[in-house]
Structure 1
Amino acid sequence: MRVLLMGYGSRGDIAPLAALGLQLRELGAEVRVCAPPDEEFAELLTGVGVEMVPFGPAVRALVKGTRPSPAGAAGVAAELVAAHFETVAAAAEGCDALLATGLMPAGARSVAEKLGIRYVYACFHPFELPSTHYLPQPRPGLPNPPDVTDNRALWDLDAQRVNALYLAPLNTHRASIGLPPVDNVRDHVFADQPWLAADPVLGPWQELTDLDLVQTGAWILPDERPLPADLVAFLDAGTPPVYVGFGSMPMRAATDVAKVAVEAVRAQGRRVLVSRGWADLGLVDDADDCFAVGDVNHQALFRRVAAVVHHGGAGTTTTAARAGTPQVVVPQFVDQPYWAGRVAELGIGTAHDGPTPTFDSLPAALRTALTPETRARAAAVADTIRTDGATVAAKLLLETVG
């Protein structure tokens, strides 16, 4: 059995594919993954013994604005569609199934259709799919008319925005390989039975319209890396610090954000652990109550900190929840406000109001997260988080193929 996994996005999109690829390999399948050409993704995938096929532009350069890109979102969309029909199609040759995730994989189903192989679309947060319970996520294009508030109407407008970006290049490429045009790119990509790779407690699916959805649980990649010796020494030298990190978020005015975060944590009488991330956050002084780290094992680290201040990515939220550690979510965009809301609703932390922490707002959020009541609730919820999502998905995919 040969399987191709593909996704275009940040580490939060690629790490779950590595987790699924690892489980598929353990079940005897041959696996390759199409992912952006960023070096860290190559290391992540080759580290679990999965072949990586790079496609599209490097994500870090695109996010940080250091890559000369095509004209706006439509240019990037056309570039990615072309990569689906070229690089991804070549990688899918000889495969029995293609599973697509990440930024609208508009051409993936067409590739599977042409090759006559199984196709699955999977997403990592529930509100990506049309629902009477959620509003559509923001996309490039015209804003919603102020007088339109009906959910179904807003989801129809969402489909129109996707079409504006992807429909023309998709149908051009479909015609080139003898396939008929589609009229709704979004629903064509989602197909009739999309998968939701999110934990049922953190990201429950709420029943709605016509989708026959399968919720597998989150795809969690086990991390066995030891923590660096200097980090362990810092952790051992005093009380548990508060972790502050924003993952793949560029965080404009990163120096100011770091200063606000460090001072807010210190105001609670806590030590600080700053994760550099893509924003390259750093220390604001050379005091010994503050330490900076790069890419480390969060599964091990989060069990040793007092709280986790982060951007609200699905992976970080799930990892902190599994660790039973209180969270302060400072959401930036897309799915992150959703995860911030879920953290607050579950009582396992607080949702910061808006994307920019201030000297007033962050201490208030931290005070709530650091209470004994929040820690007790976080510990209780940790016992309910599933860890078998990647195994469930791998078995299901192989069973449906053959």
Structure 2
Amino acid sequence: MRVLLSTYGSRGDTEPLAGLGVALQALGVEAVVSAPPDDEFVDLLARAGVPLAPAFTSVRTWIKDKAKPSAPADFNQLATEMIAGQYEAVGAAAEGCDAILATGLMPSAAAAQCVAEKMGVPYFHASFCPLFLPSHHHRPYRYPGDPLPPEVNDPRALWDLNASAMNARFSGAVNAHRAAIGLPEIDNVRDHVFTDRPLLASDPVLWPWQPTDLCAAIQTGAWVLRDERPLPADLDAFLEKDSPPVYVGFGSIALPTTRDAAHTAIQAVRAQGHRAVVARGWANAALLDDGDDCFLVGEVNQQALFRRVAAIIHHGGAGTTTTATRSGNPQVIVPQIVDQPYWATQVAALGVGVAHDGAVPTLESLSAALAKALAPRTRARASAVALTMNADGAKTAAKLLFERIAREPAEAV
């Protein structure tokens, strides 16, 4: 059995597929990941031992070339280009595959689904956050430029509006491509691409999926790629030298606000009398000075590092939030975009950390948040919740996929 796992997005989209790929391999399945060919993803998949089939272009190059503040985004044009590029890349990677699972940006997933339909193999969709899946228990994500009407409070009505908004953004490009390759037009892009039984690869402790007639999602737990790499010797020495420092990192968010937030975080950490480990991330964060109380790191084993710090200040991506919560140490989330405010809300509700109000912290606001996170009550709660986290989400999903494909090779989940 051969399965293609397709995505186009940041590390938070690629690393879970590497974890799923490893779990599928343990079942004897030949798993291949189609992901952006950026160096960090090449290294990540090589470390996992999962073959990489390159997506149509580097995601960093795509962001640099297409996300220009001076020119408003033409979503139809961007979607058209991505669907065409990904259809070709995924189609080449899917040769000989028995099924395709897709996640990541909507045009990329739509392209992967087109490949599956043309090949006549099962297609599965996965999401890493409940926010994007229809449910009467929560409101949909508000896409920029498509505000939710303030007078509408019924979640079902809001999800209908969400489907209309996604059609307005993507249906033109998706249906034009489908027509070009001989596939029928679809009326509801969201529901067709997401399917009626998507896999939800998130931890139910952080955000439990509640049954709803709007979507029959299957929550498997987060797809975690185990990281056994030792920390660099100089970082290990820094950690051992004194009391545990505070981690500061904003992952794959390359915004001016994240660079500024990292600088503010260093000041707040120092104000609390702590040292700091600062991650460069995609924003290329830097230290404020050459003081020996701060240490700058590139890509490291976060699973090992987070267990050895006093607290974790981060952006609130799904993967980082899961790793931070599993570490048993408290966190402060300074959310920047998309689902990050919602993960911040979940962390605060669980009592394992603090949600900063807004993407641009001040020294005062972040100092107050960090002080609350470092309080004994928060630390104790974070330690207790970590013990309840599920580490087998990838194994659960791999078994489900294996059994479903073997039992019903012509039917998707």
Compute the TM-score of the two structures, normalised by the length of structure 2: 0.93
Q: Secondary structure at the match of 2:7?
A: strand
The DSSP-based 3-state class of the residue aligned with 1:122 is: strand
Query: Which is worse superposed, 44-53 or 178-187?
Result: 44-53
SS in 2 for 1:47: helix
Match in the other structure for 1:102? 104
Q: Which residue of 1 is the match for residue 248 of structure 2?
A: 244
- The one of 269, 275, 280 aligned to 1:276: 280
- Correspondence for 1:35: 35
Q: For 2:154 and 2:116, locate their aligned partners in 1 and report how far apart those are by CA, in whole Å.
A: 35
Aligned to 2:52: 52
**1:128 aligns to what?**
132
| Counterpart residue number, 2:206 | 202
**Alpha-carbon deviations, 1:287-309, whole Å to 9, x = none?**
11111111100110011100000
Shift of residue 255, structure 1, vs aligned partner: 4.9
How far the C-alpha of 1:50 sits from its partner, in A, is 1.8
What displacement does 1:161 show? 2.0
Q: Distance in 2 between matches of 1:218 and 1:197?
A: 5
Deviation at 1:71, TM superposition (A): 5.1
Secondary structure of 2:338's aligned partner = coil
CA contact (8 A) 1:61 1:67 kept: no
Kindly provide the amino acid, as one letter, of the partner of residue 88 in structure 2.
E
Would you say the 8 A contact 1:56–1:79 is kept in 2?
no
**Distance (whole Å) between structure 2 residues aligned to residue 48 and residue 255 of structure 1:** 30
1:26-73 Cα offsets, whole Å, 9 max, x none, are: 211112111112111111112222221222332223445687799533
Give distance in 1, aligned partners of 2:364 and 2:297.
26
Which one-letter code corresponds to 2:242 in the other structure? G
Structure 2: gaps (5+ residues): 407-413
Aligned to 1:360, the other structure's residue is in SS state: helix
Alignment partner, residue 353 of structure 1: 357
> What does residue range 239-388 of structure 1 map to in structure 2 within 5 Å?
239-388=243-392
Deviation of the 1:267 alpha carbon: 1.0
Task: Give the letter for the 1:10 counterpart.
Answer: S
What is the TM-score of this pair, normalised by structure 1? 0.96
Within 1, Cα distance between the matches of 2:257 and 2:215? Answer: 41
Q: Give 1:26-175 correspondences, 5 Å limit.
A: 26-63=26-63, 72-104=74-106, 105-175=109-179
SS of the residue corresponding to residue 120 of structure 1 reads strand
> Conserved in 1, the CA contact under 8 Å of 2:124 and 2:198?
yes
Relative to structure 1, the CA distance from residue 70 to residue 342 in structure 2 (aligned partners, 3 Å threshold; closer, same or farther) is closer
C-alpha distance 250-183 of structure 1, shift in aligned 2 (>3 A): same
| One-letter identity of the residue aligned with 1:168 | G
Question: Matches of 1:77 and 1:136 in 2, distance apart?
Answer: 21
| Paired residues of 1:322 and 1:382 also in contact (CA < 8 A) | yes
How far 1:3 moved relative to its partner? Answer: 0.2
Q: Which runs of 4+ in 1 moved over 6 A?
A: 66-70
Cα RMSD of the aligned pairs, angstroms, is: 1.8
CA distance in 1, matches of 2:264, 2:222: 32
Against the structure 1 CA distance between its residues 259 and 71, is the aligned structure 2 distance closer, same or farther, given a 3 Å change threshold?
A: closer
**Aligned letter for 1:25?**
Q
- The superposition leaves residues 333-356 of structure 1 with CA deviations (integer Å, 9 ceiling, x where unpaired) of 111111101110111010000111
1:207 to 1:215, Cα distance in 2 relative to 1, 3 A: same
Q: How many residues align?
A: 402
Shift in Å at residue 178 of structure 1?
2.3
Query: What CA distance in whole angstroms lies between the structure 2 residues aligned with 1:34 and 1:66?
Result: 21
Q: Residue 140 of structure 1: CA displacement?
A: 4.3
Q: Distance in 2 between matches of 1:50 and 1:231?
A: 28
Deviates further, 114-123 or 208-217: 208-217
Note if contact 1:8-1:102 (Cα within 8 Å) is conserved in structure 2.
Answer: yes
Q: Distance in 1 between matches of 2:257 and 2:126?
A: 34
Tell me the SS of whatever aligns to 1:156: helix
SS at match of 1:107: helix
Q: CA separation in 1, counterparts of 2:250 and 2:54?
A: 25
Gaps of at least 5 residues in structure 1 are none
Contact 1:243/1:274 (8 A) holds in 2: yes
* Distance in 2 of aligned mates of 1:71 and 1:203: 32
SS of residue paired to 2:5: strand
Say which SS state the counterpart of residue 106 (structure 1) adopts: helix
